[in-house]
Amino acid sequence: MSREQRGPNEKLGAVLALAGISNAGLARRVNDLGAQRGLTLRYDKTSVARWVSKGMVPQGAAPHLIAAAIGQKLGRPVPLHEIGLADADPAPEVGLAFPRDVGQAVRSATELYRLDLAGRRAGSGGIWQSLAGSFAVSAYATPASRWLITPADSSVAREANHAEGSSSPLKVGHSDVQKLREAAEDARRWDSKYGGGDWRSSMVPECLRVEAAPLLLGSYSDEVGRALFGASAELTRLAGWMAFDTGQQEAAQRYYIQALRLARAAADVPLGGYVLASMSLQATYRGFGDEGVDLAQAALERNRGLATARTMSFFRLVEARAHARASDAQAAGAALKAAEGWLERSREGDNDPSWLGFYSYDRFAADAAECYRDLKAPRQVRRFTEQALSRPTEEFVRSHGLRLVVSAVAELESGNLDAACEQGVRAVEVAGRISSARTTEYVKDLLHRLEPYGDEPRVVELRERARPLLMAPA
Q: Output the tens digit of pLDDT for each of the chain's 474 residues.
A: 455 555 789 999 999 999 999 999 999 998 888 776 556 788 999 999 999 998 888 876 788 788 888 988 888 778 778 888 876 555 557 888 999 999 999 999 998 998 753 344 433 444 554 554 467 888 899 999 999 999 899 999 999 875 555 556 689 999 999 999 999 888 888 776 666 555 445 688 889 999 999 999 999 999 999 999 999 999 999 999 988 888 888 889 999 999 999 999 999 999 999 999 999 999 999 999 999 999 999 999 999 999 999 999 999 999 999 999 999 999 999 999 999 999 999 998 899 999 998 899 989 999 999 999 999 998 999 899 888 887 656 667 778 888 888 889 888 888 999 999 999 999 898 888 877 888 888 899 999 999 999 889 999 999 999 888 877 655
Strand, coil or helix: what is 76? coil
The Cα 72–Cα 138 span in angstroms is 10
Domains and CATH numbers, the chain: 2-88 (1.10.260), 374-474 (no CATH)
Q: CA separation (Å) from 381 to 332, 364, 388, 410, 412? A: 14, 12, 10, 6, 11
For the chain, what is the largest distance between any 2 Cα atoms, rounded to a whole number of angstroms? Answer: 69
Closest CA to 55 of 13, 92, 100: 13
2 beta partners: 58
Residue 125's pLDDT is what? 40
Residue 346's pLDDT is what? 94
The Cα 277–Cα 322 span in angstroms is 10
The Cα 443–Cα 454 span in angstroms is 15
Residue 140's pLDDT is what? 94
Closest CA to 370 of 442, 427, 303: 442
pTM value surpassing 0.85: no
Residue 196's pLDDT is what? 53
Residue 1's pLDDT is what? 44
CB–CB of 152/269 below 8 Å? yes
